[in-house]
A and B are shown apart, each in its own frame.
Chain A
Amino acid sequence: MKTRSPFTNRIRRLRFDHDEMTQQELATRVGVTRQTIIALEANRYVPSLLLAVRIARTFRVTVEEVFLLPPDE
């Protein structure tokens, strides 16, 4: 059984909006492995607050613009 994160996220969209940044580039910038970026994009992992902020900073947006929590959650 696969776990699903309650969040949805726009990481893949934001990567493409930033000169088609690769998963490895993003992983290197935020200090995680590429597999963690893959898990995040597939909604299979909820990041720590620190990682969420690092990702948001990389794309120069707020955390809420990267990670979206449905209103019924």
Chain B
Amino acid sequence: MTPLQKFSVFVLVVMGLAAVAAGTLFGVSGDPATACAGFSLMALLVFGRRILRNRDGPALDERDVSIGRTAQLVSYGVFWLVFVGAFTAAPFLLGFERSVSLRMLVLTPFVGAWILLVARSIATLLLYARGG
């Protein structure tokens, strides 16, 4: 496994933990704002820097950089489809007279970052599996 593959797996594990924590807190409290505390586990990503090291040579070479760039593009595509798409479609599906609580709104940056990072990590792993 390349350091970038290991980092992608690490990101998926951290994102999984954050989602479980946020879901549990939301389930217990029923308050979306409290669920933000679960997403704070995303801060564990700072420890991922140690993974992006390779004692035997460069941590990232031209193939890794190319895969990283493609994965970034894919993740932006997924982000726009899912995140922006959900916001755009919501009034059409639920009605223009409905409102969103600020307690719910505070979750949106965390959910957006979560979608972006998960999509990027999955795209990275799939691109490596395809050969790069």
Enumerate chain A interface residues (CB-CB to B < 8 A). Answer: 1-4, 24, 27-28, 31-36, 39, 42, 44-45, 47-48, 50-51
Contact A31 B130 (CB under 8 A): no
Minimum Cβ distance to chain A for residue B26 (Å): 38
Interface of A is mostly: loop
Q: Do residues B131 and A42 form an inter-chain contact, with CB atoms below 8 A?
A: yes
List A contacts of B1 (CB < 8 A).
35
Nearest 7 pairs of A and B residues by beta carbon: A44-B131, A32-B61, A3-B131, A36-B63, A35-B2, A45-B132, A33-B61
In the bound assembly, the distance between CA atoms of A51 and B64 in angstroms comes to 13
Q: A33-B54, A34-B56 are in contact. Are A1 and B61 (CB under 8 A)?
A: no
**Is B95 engaged at the interface, CB distance under 8 Å to the other chain?**
no
Give the interface size bracket for B toward A: 10 to 19
State the CA gap A70–B57 with chains docked (Å).
Answer: 33
Please judge, given known A-B contacts A33-B2, A39-B131, A45-B132, whether A27 and B57 are in contact too, CB under 8 Å.
Answer: yes
Contact of A45 among B54, B56, B63 (CB under 8 A): B63
